[in-house]
Structure 1
Amino acid sequence: MDPPRGRLLIAGCRSGSYLSARTFQRYKELLAQEGSKNDILHLENIDKQFSDSETCVRLDVHVSGYDVFIFQALFNPTSDYCIDQNYMALLIAARTFRENGANHVTAVLPYLAYARQDKPTRFMREPTTAKLMADMSIEAGIDRLVVWNPHCDQIRGFYGSMPVNVLGSLPLYIDEYRRFQGREDAIAVAPDAGASKFAAHFGRALNLKCAVASKYRPRPEEAVISEIIGDFTGKKIAIILDDMISSGGTIYALIKKLVEEKGIEEIYLGISHNLCVGNAHDRLIDLYKNYHLKEMTVTNSIPQTAAFQSLPFVSIQCLSDILSRTINRIHYNQSVNEMLYQPLTPYIKD
């Protein structure tokens, strides 16, 4: 008997297949652990380009009645495809599955591009581009969204009644930095006010004091840390948590200030999305060599370039486990939130 949403199909666009393949493999491992004999289908690299640069998706198998999960890396610094090309490939893929009879189409977007354009810049004539991308996703036939630690949680409001599963990074970083639990010489630092609530939750979980930096941008892509608010008496270790690194300007300014003005001797950096762009690579190397950066933990929500993978202080956490378990819960109409706040137990049926 087929599951209520139909048979399971995991698909990857060209930029998303690196993670769809790992998630498919992890899902099969979970099935084996539970003794399940369910078969799932995996399709890789389902989009292609014609010579005039138009995108085409062509499916080689029957997909009518399937519960489809499409993986896409909207930003992929390891390829020549830009965000707009990757987004268009996702939309065309969703429409392709819909027109060929798929029961459900869930977009799995570990990094949700355009999420930072959730409102116009003050006093500027700009659109709310994040809402436009939501409208196009709905029109293409996507009926559910799975995202990893988006820039703004309120982004789900743009998708109306569509379910949006926001997977948070808090459990990952609690496990990663549990070795510092309760230490009087350690402090959690938020790089700006927007990250302060996350840092506070992290601090409470590990019994650590928290601090927050006051940041402003005199110009686009430039950050100035005016002050760091918090009690640094006796603090020698700083754990900085942020949703993303773009050019690395904010983190660079913050770490220099922590070392030079607060006397911090060890820096640990947890980042959900590393965009691998601009001066980030050189800045991180300088922080490692001259400003006590010991470790940087990132995820593969964005494919990491060879240059970043080769850095001796960078650790890359794969999201395939949490994504496979999330897919499993959705596929069987079970609560994803329960999974996020309880031990990760798969819900798998024969």
Structure 2
Amino acid sequence: MKGLRKISTVFSRNLSSASRHNFHHNTQFSAPLILCLGVTGVSVALQIQRQNEAFCEEGESDLPSFGSSSDPMFLADQEVPLETISLQSRIPPTRDENETTNLQKSIRALDSAHDIAFREQQALATSMQDVAAQAKDRVQSLQTHDHPMVTTQKMYFYKTSELQTDMADRFIILAGSSSVDVGGDIAHLLGVPINQMHTGKFIDGEVNIQIQESVRGKHVYIINSTTSADALMELLLMIPTLRRASAKKVTAVIPYYGYSRQDQKHFRRREPIAAADIALMLEEMGVDRVICLDLHADSLQGFFSPTCPVEHLMPAPVAAAYFHEELMPRADENYPPITVVAAHEGQVARATQFRTVLQRLSGQNVDLAVLTKSKMAPGSSQYEAKLVGNVAGRKCILVDDIVNTGTTMVSNIEGLKQYGAESIYAWATHAVFGPPNVNDAPERLQELDELEFLLVSNSIATERQLPPKIRVLNVAPLLAEAIARSLHNQSISSILSLEPLERYDA
């Protein structure tokens, strides 16, 4: 029928056109022409109709998308106006109840992951509630284990009782081969595990670094002293390794900043300013922040650009607290007269800070003296100590930042004894002793009758057995407190002020 209507329409148009133009000129052909066209049109229409019916009988599932409502195949039993056009679409097959779309699967997976994360967060929050009680136990474990170190009986500057729950999952601590022990103690005090990292060497001597867990999106603290060229190379390679592993931030915690004594170019010498060059290399590798322990000179902070801030921690107050506990008199005794002595002119600032904390803790007046360094002959390594201050009949605490060959310290101790000091103690932050076959400074200091004991920090790890007169002070609590405050954007320089601060974990 649809084909018939189409042929009729075409025929009507042609007939109208023909009638307008030629009918009055060719009247003799009009009747035969009409008869011929009519028979032809009916034949064509019937043929198209038969084809459509055969097509529909072969497969009703492949019906055309559009069709007239007057066709037999569409709404045959309903009276619908001819102008109505209905859209024929295939009905999708009914899905099984257990079958679901990829979107629904993704939603379920997301809900499951959220539930797991929520449960883990609750478990972590519950465990962190016990950290306050565990912090004291962790400090006591540093005091009682078989490690050959000493700590203060009271934690004057280590205040960390807990980290915010959301912070505990956002940072990790890595320890280089030169700072494995102090790095482990820092992680222990913060209540987090020391993360896995392999450092070694290939057969040809090249440094091999492998980070063995994901650091993506985390703040990474690298504990590594640059005590040797290998240790420095490890640190320089660890930083870009973490960067390429998508770490969010990288902070280098350097207990001992190697090459720090090469901080200036001497007159008419062709030599590097190695301390500045190392700062440039660290920044070029991608470090975000640096935390150092007792730099040889404050000017080293200026070797880094403003985009890489440097936190300078001074452990002298921690050492002063230790000496306060050691020299504290019994109930029936008076506090002994004490003089803090700067090892040379460059140590006056350290000695002053040491003296301030000691006075604050003891409540007693503490004197300050300075030993000047003057070479006995040009080019000689021997020094003659000249005293500015009073040490006669007093307990003296000699303050220096580095003890290496021990030449200056031995000279100063002997000089203080000559000036009438009653007893002599010494404090040096960094003990750069090296192997026994190269440096015999510990043995020479042990043989000094005038020396009571020398206190050094564990900023530099040593495998040699130190004599009894050399005590190692564990500064891990100070570094742990600095890291905790760094994570919570709290003041680091105020740790040693002995003033009450607003706690990040209050």
TM-score range, shorter chain: 0.7 to 0.9
Aligned-pair distance for 1:6? 7.2
**Is the CA contact (8 Å cut-off) linking 1:118 and 1:129 kept in structure 2?**
yes
The reply on whether 1:222 has 2:374 as its aligned counterpart is no
Aligned-pair distance for 1:285? 1.4
**Is the CA contact (8 Å cut-off) linking 1:329 and 1:346 kept in structure 2?**
no
**Is the CA contact (8 Å cut-off) linking 2:385 and 2:412 kept in structure 1?**
no
The reply on whether 1:71 has 2:71 as its aligned counterpart is no
The SS at the match of 2:267 is coil
**Is the CA contact (8 Å cut-off) linking 1:212 and 1:229 kept in structure 2?**
yes
Give the 3 Å change call, closer, same or farther, for CA 171–133 of structure 1 in structure 2. Answer: same
- Runs of 5+ consecutive residues of structure 1 not aligned to the other structure: 29-39, 76-82
Aligned-pair distance for 1:195? 0.4
CA-based RMSD: 2.6
Q: Deviations over 1:163-221 (max 9, x none)?
A: 11111123212212225589574211111000012223333442211111111355778
TM-score normalised by the chain length of structure 2: 0.60
**Is the CA contact (8 Å cut-off) linking 2:373 and 2:385 kept in structure 1?**
yes
Aligned-pair distance for 1:306? 3.2
Letter in 2 for 1:74: T
The reply on whether 1:293 has 2:454 as its aligned counterpart is no
The SS at the match of 1:120 is coil
Most deviating of 13-22 and 107-116: 13-22
**Is the CA contact (8 Å cut-off) linking 1:3 and 1:331 kept in structure 2?**
no
Letter in 2 for 1:300: N
Report what 2:110 is aligned to.
none
Give the 3 Å change call, closer, same or farther, for CA 158–349 of structure 1 in structure 2. Answer: same
Aligned equivalents of 1:281 and 1:96: distance in 2?
A: 38
The reply on whether 1:145 has 2:284 as its aligned counterpart is no
Report what 2:172 is aligned to.
9
**Is the CA contact (8 Å cut-off) linking 1:57 and 1:92 kept in structure 2?**
yes
Match of 1:317 among 441, 465, 473: 473
The reply on whether 1:49 has 2:201 as its aligned counterpart is yes
Match of 1:270 among 407, 417, 427: 427
Could you say which structure has the higher helix fraction? 2
Give the 3 Å change call, closer, same or farther, for CA 57–149 of structure 1 in structure 2. Answer: same
Match of 1:25 among 188, 198, 215: 188
After TM superposition, the structure 1 = structure 2 runs for residues 155-170 of structure 1, keeping only pairs within 5 Å, are 155-161=300-306, 162-170=308-316
**Is the CA contact (8 Å cut-off) linking 1:110 and 1:147 kept in structure 2?**
yes
Match of 2:406 among 242, 245, 248: 248
Letter in 2 for 1:200: T
- Runs of 5+ consecutive residues of structure 2 not aligned to the other structure: 1-120, 122-164, 329-333, 360-364
Give the 3 Å change call, closer, same or farther, for CA 107–346 of structure 1 in structure 2. Answer: farther
Higher RCO (CA < 8 A, seq sep 6+):
1
Q: Deviations over 1:243-277 (max 9, x none)?
A: 11000000001111111x21223111111111124
Report what 1:280 is aligned to.
441
Q: After TM superposition, what 4+ stretches of structure 1 lie above 3 angstroms from structure 2?
A: 1-6, 179-185, 216-221, 342-350
Return the index of the structure with the highest Cα Rg.
2
Give the 3 Å change call, closer, same or farther, for CA 23–347 of structure 1 in structure 2. Answer: farther
**Is the CA contact (8 Å cut-off) linking 1:11 and 1:68 kept in structure 2?**
yes
Aligned equivalents of 2:168 and 2:381: distance in 1?
A: 47
Give the 3 Å change call, closer, same or farther, for CA 116–344 of structure 1 in structure 2. Answer: farther
Report what 1:128 is aligned to.
273
**Is the CA contact (8 Å cut-off) linking 1:11 and 1:46 kept in structure 2?**
no
**Is the CA contact (8 Å cut-off) linking 1:21 and 1:44 kept in structure 2?**
no
Give the 3 Å change call, closer, same or farther, for CA 349–254 of structure 1 in structure 2. Answer: closer
**Is the CA contact (8 Å cut-off) linking 1:71 and 1:107 kept in structure 2?**
yes
Q: Deviations over 1:22-57 (max 9, x none)?
A: 1111111xxxxxxxxxxx453245322111111122
Letter in 2 for 1:340: L
Give the 3 Å change call, closer, same or farther, for CA 19–312 of structure 1 in structure 2. Answer: same
Report what 2:210 is aligned to.
58
Most deviating of 110-119 and 192-201: 192-201
Give the 3 Å change call, closer, same or farther, for CA 8–246 of structure 1 in structure 2. Answer: same
Letter in 1 for 2:277: L
Most deviating of 112-121 and 11-20: 11-20
The SS at the match of 2:465 is helix
Give the 3 Å change call, closer, same or farther, for CA 285–3 of structure 1 in structure 2. Answer: same
The reply on whether 1:195 has 2:347 as its aligned counterpart is yes
Pairs aligned (count): 325
Give the 3 Å change call, closer, same or farther, for CA 149–23 of structure 1 in structure 2. Answer: same
Aligned equivalents of 1:5 and 1:95: distance in 2?
A: 24
Aligned equivalents of 1:153 and 1:214: distance in 2?
A: 20
TM-score normalised by the chain length of structure 1: 0.85
Letter in 2 for 1:21: G
The SS at the match of 2:462 is coil
